[in-house]
A and B are shown apart, each in its own frame.
Chain A
Amino acid sequence: DSGVTQTPKHLITATGQRVTLRCSPRSGDLSVYWYQQSLDQGLQFLIQYYNGEERAKGNILERFSAQQFPDLHSELNLSSLELGDSALYFCASSVRGAETTRDTQYFGPGTRLTVL
């Protein structure tokens, strides 16, 4: 157990809908990262938040957005869902992730999203 939690574990929805995925980082970690992993694919970095502020953006679609709250938990919002958005969505956390380039990322168990 990495100490990072994600809810829900599974989510099944229809095209065009909107969903929210939630992530709680390890105690004391200030950075949260979101990744998308499609079937048998690698990890696609979406976005990073550090202490409530957006820190870096990767290949995140405009239909997707995220935020990090004062208690440091984060939510990833996916809207106008398409079949191709079906994937495992992981969040990871690290202690800092902003002042150092050598921060270990700890992954949550993931949310499996299925869009029908």
Chain B
Amino acid sequence: GENVEQHPSTLSVQEGDSAVIKCTYSDSASNYFPWYKQELGKRPQLIIDIRSNVGEKKDQRIAVTLNKTAKHFSLHITETQPEDSAVYFCAATGSNYQLIWGAGTKLIIKP
């Protein structure tokens, strides 16, 4: 069936360093790939998304890259700050207009 694998499940980085979270999807027809950030006890919030007609998108310290051939996409956060600590979810569109979600990555920023 359709699935999205997300790695790592937990990522701990030093403040100021970069963080990379990777997702692999199974449906070659997927064409929309959002990333959501969820702080403890809060709602998931969209932080960046990419559509299949582009390979990379940047928004300040956040970037997403997409490799359709390999069916994977990644979130890159540079110059990490304490407020980046959260759980990050990737997702990809499935066959019925649904989003197939990754299991989440807990990002810990060490001071």
Q: Which of B18-26, B64-72, B77-85, B93-101 contacts A (4 or more CB under 8 A)?
A: B93-101
Report the nearest A residue to B44, measured CB to CB. Answer: A107
The 8 Å CB contact of B43, one of A48, A55, A100, A108, is A108
**Distance of A55 Cα from B42 Cα, bound (Å):** 26
A2 at the A/B interface (Cβ < 8 Å)?
A: yes
Are B44 and A101 in contact, CB atoms less than 8 angstroms apart? no
Q: How far is the CB of A91 from chain B (nearest CB, A)?
A: 10
Cβ-defined partner of B32 (8 Å) among A48, A58, A102, A107: A102
Instruction: Point out the residue from A42, A48, A55, A104 that lies within 8 Å of B34, measured CB to CB.
Output: A104
Does A101 contact B43, Cβ atoms closer than 8 Å? Answer: no
Give chain A's interface secondary structure class: loop
Most buried by B among A42, A56, A110: A42
Compute how far the CA of A92 lies from the CA of B84 in the bound complex, rounded to whole angstroms: 23
In the complex, which residues 29-50 of chain B have their Cβ closer than 8 Å to any Cβ of chain A?
30-32, 34, 36, 42-46, 49
A27-47, CB under 8 A of B: which get 1 and which 0?
A: 000000000000000110100
Other-chain residue from B32, B51, B93, B103 in contact with A42 (beta carbon distance below 8 A): B103
A51 CB–B CB distance under 8 Å: no
In the complex, chain A residues whose CB is within 8 Å of the CB of B89: 42-43
Q: A42-B89, A42-B104, A101-B31 are in contact. Are A109 and B43 (CB under 8 A)?
A: yes
- Check A43–B44 contact: CB distance below 8 A: yes
- Chain A residues numbered 1-52 whose CB sits less than 8 Å from any CB in chain B: 2, 42-43, 45, 48
Give, as a whole number of angstroms, the nearest-CB distance from A79 to chain B: 25
- CA–CA, A2 to B46, complex, Å? 10
A98 to B36 CA separation, bound complex (whole angstroms):
21
Contact call B101/A98, Cβ cutoff below 8 A: no
| Interface membership of A106, Cβ < 8 A | yes
Question: Which A58-116 residues sit within 8 Å CB-CB of chain B?
Answer: 58, 90, 97-98, 100-110
Given contacts A56-B96, A56-B98, A107-B36, 4 further A-B contacts (CB under 8 A): A98-B97, A102-B51, A104-B34, A107-B45
Chain B contacts to A: CB under 8 angstroms: 30-32, 34, 36, 42-46, 49, 51, 89, 93, 96-99, 101-104
